[in-house]
Amino acid sequence: MKKAQGLMLGVILVGAGLAAGACTNPETPAGHEGYVYHVPLIWGKKEYRDTLEGPESTGLSWRLYVQNIDMRARSYAEHFELLTRDNLNVSFEVNTRIRLRPGSSKEVVEDWGGPDWYEWNVKEPLRTRVRRRVTEVDATEIQAETGAVRDRIQEDLDERFADTPIEILSVDIGAITFPRRLMAAIQEKISAQQEYARQQFILAETKKQAAIRVVDALKVANQQQIISETLDPLYVQRKAVQVYRQLAEGPNEAAVILPNMPEGTGLPKVLAEGEFRPLSDQDRELLDEMEARYMEIADKGVEELVDDPDVEVPEGFDQEGGGEVPADDAAQEEAHAPEADSDAGASETSGETGAAEGDE
């Protein structure tokens, strides 16, 4: 009897131990989804029971286990060394940011390799599409048109993994390394483009300054024309007589020999032979047109005067002497001086002409 009771107690203890060992509490951390499955104690097969969205747990349960799948976005780097279309060996790195679509952990575990989904089902298709796109372009285009090549690769990946748990967030190409001779050629081309841009801006600034000088010259010419049209021969003769009088009344002795007027008046001859030709309406129209055209050029910014629309402002343009062409200060003063003198002369002419007429 005692042996039977001992045997029964042993069986109960063994059963309690087995029961305690078969009880589980699966947990899924944050950023993961848990694929919960049941494992029979003795016979049968595993079967899916539920999906957990972390952080979460099932609580105390009978032989339930979980396989956690990281659903967070990650960057996967792949290194390449390929021959481009122009048969140049280029090395570069492609960084692809990928994540699993929410709620897809069951499909990932059952059909895509579980935690090894990238190595089993994404890595080689990704590398194949990168190789195909890169070998379609020249070596320099990988750097000059990185955005376009990257977009084509992402379009291919989006098409390949549409309606799957895989979501391609972005594709980036970097760490591009070219052969030395190609690097030297690229640098030479970039330097030539920068120099071309600089010369374009120097030409535009020179054109602007030239237009400003032409406008100033036209203004001076117009003022001189007004003065020439208003000068009176008697006024010129009178001014000459005043100068001779000052010479005669001066403290120093001076002998001035001048030809006399042929009319026998004894006055010095100061009027030169010649004929004044006033501007015609056609001449004035031409001058007005020139002034308007050059004024339009002078009012524009340097960027607007660049002939090549694709040229951008070169870096360090002003500091390296390619900025605004400095105007010649002396030339500016000389150009504006006649303008001031002409104004004074014009007012003095009109005033003294009236005086001369009064004397007559």
pLDDT the model gives residue 232: 63
Q: What is the mean pLDDT of the chain?
A: 77
97's CB contacts (< 8 A; 6+ apart) are 73, 74, 75, 76, 168, 169, 170, 171, 172
**Rounded average pLDDT over 239-258:** 76
Residue 290 identity (one-letter amino acid): M
pLDDT the model gives residue 288: 82
pLDDT band for position 340 (cuts 50, 70, 90): very low
User: Read out DSSP for 260-314?
Assistant: BPTTSS-PBP-PPS----PPPHHHHHHHHHHHHHHHHHHHS-HHHH-S-TTPPPP
pLDDT the model gives residue 287: 80
Residue 38 identity (one-letter amino acid): H
Tokens, residue 4: 């039977």
User: Read out DSSP for 81-99?
Assistant: EEE-TTS-EEEEEEEEEEE
Tokens, residue 68: 């956690």
CATH 3.30.479.30 for the 74-178 domain, yes or no = yes
CB environment 5-23: b (16+ within 10 A), e (fewer) = eeeeeeeeeeeeeeeeeee
Residues of the chain with pLDDT > 70, as a percent, come to 70
Cα–Cα distance between 246 and 251 in angstroms, integer?
10
Residue holding tokens 């899924």? 28
Of the candidates 135, 138, 134, 133, the residue with the CA atom closest to the CA atom of residue 182: 138
Least confident of 43-52, 74-83, 300-309: 300-309
Give 5 or 169, the one with higher predicted confidence: 169
Q: Is 272 left (phi over 0), alpha (psi -120 to 50) or beta?
A: beta
- Cβ burial of 126 (10 Å; 0-12, 13-18, 19+) is buried
> Residues 30, 32, 36, 41: is their CA dihedral positive or negative?
negative
DSSP, collapsed to helix, strand or coil, labels residue 232 as coil
Model confidence at 350: pLDDT above 60 = no
Residues of the chain with pLDDT > 90, as a percent, come to 30
pLDDT, tens digit, 9 for 90 and up, residues 263-303 = 655 666 665 555 556 677 787 788 888 888 888 888 887 77
User: Read out DSSP for 134-151?
Assistant: HTTS-HHHHHHTHHHHHH
Does residue 115 contact residue 100 with C-beta atoms inside 8 Å?
no
Extents of the domains making up the chain: 22-70, 74-178, 203-247+278-359
Cα–Cα distance between 84 and 132 in angstroms, integer?
10
Cα–Cα distance between 19 and 11 in angstroms, integer?
12
Q: What is the pTM of this model?
A: 0.50
pLDDT band for position 257 (cuts 50, 70, 90): confident
pLDDT, tens digit, 9 for 90 and up, residues 91-130 = 999 999 999 999 999 999 999 999 999 999 999 999 999 9
pLDDT, tens digit, 9 for 90 and up, residues 160-203 = 999 999 999 999 999 888 877 777 777 787 888 888 888 888 88
Of the candidates 236, 99, 219, the residue with the CA atom closest to the CA atom of residue 168: 99
**Rounded average pLDDT over 139-167:** 91
**Rounded average pLDDT over 142-170:** 93
Task: Tell me the residue ranges of DSSP E strands in 145-193.
Answer: 166-177
pLDDT the model gives residue 292: 85
Strand partners, 177: 91
Q: How far is CA 15 from each of CA 9, 10, 11, 195, 295, rounded to the nearest angstrom?
A: 10, 8, 6, 89, 105
Does residue 68 contact residue 34 with C-beta atoms inside 8 Å?
yes
